[in-house]
Amino acid sequence: MLGIIVLILIGLLLIIAELIFVPGTTFVGVIGLLCTIIGIFLVFADYGNTAGYWTVGGTLVVTVAAIIYSFQSKSWDRFSLKSAIRSRVNDQDIYNFQVGEKGKTVSDLKPVGKAEIFGKIYEVRSKGDWIGAGQEIQVTKVDHKRIFVEPINN
């Protein structure tokens, strides 16, 4: 019986770890859910329906109690993001650009990268082509703060 309880607790701890430490991966959470389900299944198989239902109820009570306690104790605050990024891409006044303006790539465009135009760095994009860093480019289109460029073939 101790092994089954440990299996269920490991499952619950993995689910909590998924929520706190590795959100979005789902691998740890799925393993935790499987451990919990296998533990509950073993209780049903070894000890009968009554013990199984008590185990399901106990697991739910422990899970809900852990969630309520964690929110009341503000333990989630240690893991929450407190700052925000307020900058935007190409927030400068790019509407002064004209088609045909020239610049130079600062990074590779794959198809998005950085280029220097008018002495400032902007995020630019090609029409799907790879353009190497340090290559001369020209503006072909400006659309909703997106700057489209193509290489200048000399």
Yes or no: say if 102 and 153 are a contact pair by the CB < 8 Å rule: no
Q: Is the pTM of this model over 0.75?
A: no
Check: CB of residue 35 under 8 Å from CB of residue 11: yes
Compute and round to an integer the Cα radius of gyration of the chain: 28
Q: Indicate the pLDDT class of residue 95, thresholds 50, 70 and 90.
A: low
| pLDDT per position as a tens digit, 100-121 | 889 999 999 998 999 998 888 8
Q: Which residues contact 119 (CB under 8 A, 6 or more apart)?
A: none
What mean pLDDT comes out for the span 89-94? 58
Going by their DSSP bridges, the two strands 146-151 and 136-143 should be labelled as antiparallel
pLDDT tens per residue across span 27-47: 888 898 899 999 999 999 999
Place of tokens 């190409």: 90
